[in-house]
Structure 1
Amino acid sequence: MLDTFSAIELARIQFAFTVSAHIIFPAFTIGLASYLAVLNGLWLKTRDEVYLRLFEYWKTIFAVVFGMGVVSGIVMSYQFGTNWSVFSDKAGPIIGPLMGYEVLSAFFLEAGFLGIMLFGREKVGDRLHMIATAIVAVGTLFSAFWILSVNSWMHTPQGYSINAVGQFVPEDWWAIIFNPSFPYRLVHMVLAAYLTTAFVVGGVGAWHLLRSPDSRGAAIMFSMAMWMALIVTPIQILAGDEHGLNTLEHQPAKIAAMEGHYESYPDGRAPLILFGLPDDASQTTRFAVKVPLVGSLILTHGLDKPIQGLDAFPEDERPPVALIFWTFRIMVAVGFAMLGIGLWSALARWQGRLLQARWLHRAVVVMGPSGFLAVLCGWITTEVGRQPYTIYGLLRTSDSAAPLQAEAVSASLLAFIVVYFFVFGSGTLYVLRLMAKRPKERIDIDEIGPTRAAGISPVAANPSAPHHTREE
C-alpha cells in the first residue's frame, strides 16, 4: 500500500504519525504536573493523608508518561535533520534558538527537579519537595510556551527577514516569539491539557467509585475532576472562539475548509454547516445540514461581514477539506460533551448525589480518553489546515523536504510503526494497569518515613531523643 505514495507524502505521514504519538503524552503531563502540585499543596496545608496517598498514586503514573513523552519527542526531532533538512536549513536561524530555549528553560527545570519530586521528600523535607513539585509543573508550562511559539510562528510568521541564500533570519525576537497567533494557541493548548488530565483523573475516580463506593480517594479524585470540567470547559469554548477569529484573520483558507464553505459570502449571512460530505470535484459540500445565518454569527460575530470561501483561493493554495472538516467537528463535539458532563456533575452535586450517580460515573469512565481525542483532532485541524505550506504563505511543504527515496522513507515509517506500537503500546498498558489499582487506603511508612506520614518533625516524634542546640 505504501508504494502508492510519493517520498514526500511518506515523509509527511511519518511526521504525522510520530507527532501524533508524541502529543498525547505532554497533553497529559502538563495537566498532571499541576494536579500533583495541587495535591501536594493540599497535603501540606491539611495534613490529610488522603492527599498524600493520591499524590503517591499519580506520581508514579506521571513518571511513566513523562518518560514516554521524552523518548517520543527526541525521536520526532531527528526528522528535521533527515526528511526535512531543507526546512531546517531555511528556518533554522529562527526555529533552532527557540527549540534551544525550550531545552534550557523548560526541560532542564523538569529534568533537574523531577528526581526530587519523585524520590526526594525524605531527603529535602516537605517544603523543598513542594518547591520541586511546583517547578516541575512550571517547567511543563514553559515547554508548552516555547513549542507553541515555534509552531505559531510557522502559522503566522513575523519579525524575520530573508537573507541572500533564502534563509529566514531573525530581526525582532519579541515579534517572533509573540507572533499574532501564539497567545491564542498557548491558552487553547494549556486548557486542553488541563481538561485532558481532568477527564483521565475523573475517569479513574469514577471507575473505582463504581467498584468501591466507599473509597475516599476515588471520591476526591472524581470531585476535583468534575470541578475542573465545570469551570474550565466553558473557558475553553470561549478561548476556542477567540482562536477561530484569529485564524479567520490570518488563515482564511483554513477556516473556509473547516466550515466546508466552497463559495464565498460577500454580503455575509453565511450558514453553519453542521454535517455534510465535502467534495472537491464538485466544489460543494454534498448532503449538507445547514443552520441559516449562524455561520456568520460564529465566525464574525455579525451578519453582514463578508466571509471568504475556498473559491477565493487558487486551488494549489487550498488545504485538504474533508479531513479537517471532520476533525474540527469531532473536536467541537468532544468539547460540548465535556461541557455536558460538567453541567451534569454540577446538578448531581447540587442534589447531593455526586458520589452516588452511577450513570454519571459510567459516562465519565467512557469520557476518560476524550481529551486525547480532542487534542489529536485539534492538532490535525491546525497542521493539515496550514497546507500546502510549512511556513504559511512563504515556504511550501513540497520545497521543505530533503531529496528522498520513497523506499527508504517507507522502510523507516514501517519501522517506526512497529517499534512505537510495541514500546508505547506496552507503556500505555502498564499505565492502564496502574490506574486500575485502587489508591492505597493508607501510606506505608517505610516508603516516606514515619514522621513525614504523621506530619510532624523528627524531634517532636521522639522528644526523648538527644538533639543539639545552637549553644552546642
Structure 2
Amino acid sequence: MDLDPVMLSRLQFAWVVGWHILLPAFTVGLASFIAFLEGAYLFTQRSVFIDLSTFWLKIFAISFGMGVVSGIVMPFQFGTNWSRFSDASANIISPLLAYEGLTAFFLEATFLGVLLFGRKLVSTPMHFVAALLVAAGTLFSSFWILATNSWMQTPSGYEVIDGRYFPKDWIEAIFNPSFPYRLAHTVSAFYVTTAFVVLGVGAYTMRAGRAIMHGRTMLLLALWFLAIFVPLQAILGDLHGVNTLEHQPAKLAAIEGLWETGRGVPASIVAWPDQAQERNIGEIAIPKLGSLYLTHSWDGEVKGLKDFPPDQRPPVAIVYFAFRIMVGIAVLMLLTVATGFVLMVRNRLDETRWYLRVCQVMAGAGFVAVIAGWTTTEVGRQPWTIYGLMRTAESVSPSLTGSDVLISLLLYVLVYLIVYPVGLFLMLRLVWKGPAVTEEEAEPIEAGHPKGPIEALQPAPEAVP
C-alpha cells in the first residue's frame, strides 16, 4: 500500500487545525463578552452581571486551556511535516507568529490569572481592566494569526533571494490585500459564534427554571448583539468575496461552481460540480445574479475555472459545498434572530418554549459555519501553500514517509478524541449547573414581561447616591 506523505500531512494538519479553530472561535468572543459583563457590573452594580461573568469565566478558562494545548501542536508540524515551506518562508512567517506570542499569549495568560483569582484581591475597576486586557489579547492573537494566513493567501511585501522569501516591506506584508477583509470577517464570525452559544445557554437556563433573570439577560443581550452582527457579517462577507474575485479568482470560481468565463453569470444555488467533465450536474441557478453580487453589476465579468490550467484549480466540490453550508447556516441564524425579535415585541419570548429549544439547537451553529468557512478558504487556496508561488506538494519535508505521518496522525486522532470530549463535558456540566445566583437577584421577574437590556443596565437602587 502506497501512503502519500503529502496527502496524509494535509489530513493531519486539517485535523489539528480543524479542532483548534473551534476554540478561538469561542474564546475570542467570550473574552469580549466577559469584559462587557465586568464593565456592566462596574457601572450598574447589578449582581446579575457579576454572577454571569463568574459563570462564563469558568467556561472560558477550560476552553482557553484546551486552546493552548492544541495550539502548541500546530507550529511543530511546520518543522516535522512542512520543512520546505518553513525553510522558504521562515523569514516572514516566523516573526509574525512570534509577535502573536509576545503581544497576545503573554497578555492573555497574565491577566487571565487576575480574572480567575483576583476577584477579592483587586478592586472592581482593576478586575474590569484585566478583563479588557484579556479580550485585547485574544484580538491581538487573531490579528497576527490572520496576518500570517492572509500573507500565504495574498503574498505581498516580499522579495525572493536564493529561493527564500524575505520581507521587503513589513507594512505591506502584514496589511496584504486580503488581510483587512479576512480579519473583519473572521473576528465577526467568532463574535457571532459566541453570541449563539450565549443565546443557547440563556434559553436552556430559562427552560430549566433556574436563575430566570440570568437566563433572560443572556438571551436578550445575545439577541440584541446578533441583530447587529449577523447582517454585518453578510456585508463583510460580500466585501471579502469581492476581494477574493480580484486576488484569488480560481478560488472564487470554485466557490461559485463557474466553469465558463462570461458576463452576467448565473448564481449557482445547488449542483454537483464534476471536475473531470468540467461541468455542473443537476444545477439549479438564477440567471445573472452571480455577476450582481460578485461584481455589483448585472453584466460584470467573472472568470471561470476553464481559464486556469487543470493543475491550478482547487478541489471544486469541497469548496462549492463548504461555502453553501456556511451561507445556509447564516440564513438560519438570521431567521432565528428575526423570530426572537418578533416574539420579544409581542412579549411572548418567555412562554414560547419551541423557540427556546431552537435557540439551544442553534448554539453550535456558529462552529459549523466557522469550519465550513475555513474549509472554503484553505481548500480553495489549493494547490498552493503560498498562493501562486509555492505548491503544497513542494512544501512537504523531503525525508518524510507515509508511514511516519500515518502513525502521528492516528495518535493525534486518539488524543483529540479524548481531550475534546472531556473538555466539552466539563463545560456542559457548568452549563447544566447554571450560574450561581446572588441572593438579591434570586427572585424571578414576572414571566411575559422580560426586562430588556436597557433596563437591565440601569444602576441598582443601592448604587444610586
TM-score by length of 1: 0.92
- SS of the residue aligned with 1:122? coil
Tell me the CA shift for residue 311 of structure 1.
0.4
Compute the displacement of 1:217 (Å): 0.5
Hey, what's the Cα distance between the residues in 2 that align with 1:175 and 1:441? 51
Shift of 1:20: 0.3
Q: Distance in 2 between matches of 1:193 and 1:259?
A: 24
Shift in Å, 1:207: 1.1
Q: Secondary structure at the match of 2:12?
A: helix
**What code does the residue aligned with 2:169 have?**
D
**1:364-387: CA deviation from partner (whole Å, max 9, x where unpaired):** 111000000000000000000000
Question: Which residue type is aligned with residue 428 of structure 2?
Answer: L
Cα distance between partner residues in 1 of 2:132 and 2:144: 19
The equivalent residue for 1:237 is: 234
1:389 aligns with 2:384: yes
Distance in 1 (CA, whole Å) between partners of 2:23 and 2:3 is: 29
Q: Which ranges in structure 1 are unaligned for 5 or more consecutive residues? A: 445-453, 458-472
Instruction: Indicate the residue corresponding to 2:457 in structure 1.
Output: none
The match for 2:245 is: 248
Label 1:400 to 1:356 Cα distance change in 2 as closer, same or farther (>3 A): same
Q: Which residue of 1 aligns with 2:397?
A: 402
Is 2:217 aligned against 1:220? yes
Q: 2:437 aligns with which of 435, 441, 450?
A: 441
Percentage identity across paired residues of the two chains = 49
Report the alpha carbon displacement of residue 211 of structure 1 after superposing the two structures with TM: 2.1
Maintained 8 Å contact 2:210/2:434: no
Letter in 2 for 1:204: V
TM-superposed deviation, 1:316: 0.3
> Please, which of 354, 358, 370 is the counterpart of residue 353 of structure 2?
358
Structure 2 distance, partners of 1:456, 1:140, is 35
Contact (CA 8 Å) 2:205, 2:211: kept in 1 or not? no
TM-score w.r.t. structure 2 length?
Answer: 0.93
Q: Which residue of 1 aligns with 2:56?
A: 58
Residue by residue over 1:132-154, the C-alpha shift from the partner in whole angstroms, topping out at 9 and shown as x without a partner, is 11000000000000000000000
User: What 5-or-longer segments of structure 2 have no aligned partner?
Assistant: 441-459
Distance 1:224 1:64 in 2: 23
Distance (whole Å) between structure 2 residues aligned to residue 172 and residue 263 of structure 1: 37
Q: Deviations over 1:211-242 (max 9, x none)?
A: 21771100101111111221100000000000
Query: For residue 73 of structure 1, what is the amino acid of its counterpart?
Result: G
* Higher mean C-alpha deviation, range 368-377 or range 276-285: 276-285
Q: Which amino acid aligns with 2:421?
A: G
Picking from 340, 343, 365, the partner of 1:345 is 340
CA contact (8 A) 1:328 1:378 kept: yes
Cα distance in 1 for residues equivalent to 2:462 and 2:89: 55
| Superposition deviation, residue 433 in structure 1 | 1.6
Matched, 1:335 2:330: yes
The separation in 2 between residues aligned to 1:8 and 1:72, in whole angstroms, is 22
- Does 2:194 align with 1:197? yes
Corresponding residue for residue 447 of structure 2? none
Choose from 414, 430, 434 the match for 2:410.
Answer: 414
Letter in 2 for 1:257: A
Superposed, 1:42-441 pairs within 5 Å as 42-164=40-162, 166-212=163-209, 215-265=212-262, 268-403=263-398, 404-441=400-437
Encode CA deviations 1:108-143: one digit per residue, 9 max, x unaligned.
110111100111121121111111110000000000
Secondary structure of the structure 2 residue equivalent to 1:157: coil
Q: List structure 1 runs of 4+ shifted beyond 6 angstroms.
A: 454-457
Q: Which stretch shows the higher mean deviation, 348-357 or 196-205? A: 348-357
Q: Aligned partners of 1:228 and 1:361: how far apart in 2? A: 17
Contact 1:213 1:355 in 2 (8 A): no
Name the residue aligned to 2:455: none
Q: Quick one: distance in 1 between partners of 2:389 and 2:439?
A: 58
- Per-residue deviation at 1:356? 2.3
Greater CA drift, 59-68 or 292-301:
292-301
State the alpha-carbon separation in 2 of the partners of residues 60 and 7 from structure 1.
Answer: 40
Write the distance in 2 (CA, Å) between the matches of 1:316 and 1:346: 49
Paired with 2:276 and 2:57, the residues of 1 have a C-alpha distance of 52
Aligned equivalent of 1:470:
none
Q: Contact conserved, 1:148 with 1:182, CA < 8 A, in 2?
A: yes
Inter-partner Cα distance in structure 1 for 2:437 and 2:223: 22
Contact 1:197 1:371 in 2 (8 A): yes
User: Which residue does 2:33 correspond to in 1?
Assistant: 35
Does the C-alpha gap of structure 1 residues 30 and 443 become closer, same or farther in structure 2, counting only changes over 3 Å? Answer: farther
**Does the 8 A contact of 1:120 with 1:129 survive in 2?**
yes
**Worse-matched range after superposition: 336-345 or 382-391:** 336-345
Residues 31 and 214 (structure 1 numbering): CA distance in 2 closer, same or farther, change over 3 Å?
closer
Counterpart of 1:439 in structure 2: which amino acid? P
1:274-315, CA deviations, whole angstroms, 9 ceiling, x for partnerless residues?
Answer: 001111121111000111111111111112221111000000
Tell me which amino acid in the other structure corresponds to 1:228: F
Query: Contact conserved, 1:253 with 1:310, CA < 8 A, in 2?
Result: yes
2:456 corresponds to: none
From 3, 13, 16, give the equivalent of 1:15.
13
Closer/same/farther in 2, CA of residues 214 and 121 from structure 1, 3 Å limit: closer
Following TM superposition, by how much is the alpha carbon of 1:29 offset from its aligned partner in structure 2, in angstroms?
0.2
- Residues 83 and 402, structure 1, Cα contact 8 Å, conserved in 2: yes
State whether residues 53 and 443 of structure 1, in contact with CA within 8 Å, keep that contact through their aligned partners in structure 2.
no
- Secondary structure of the residue aligned to 2:301 is coil
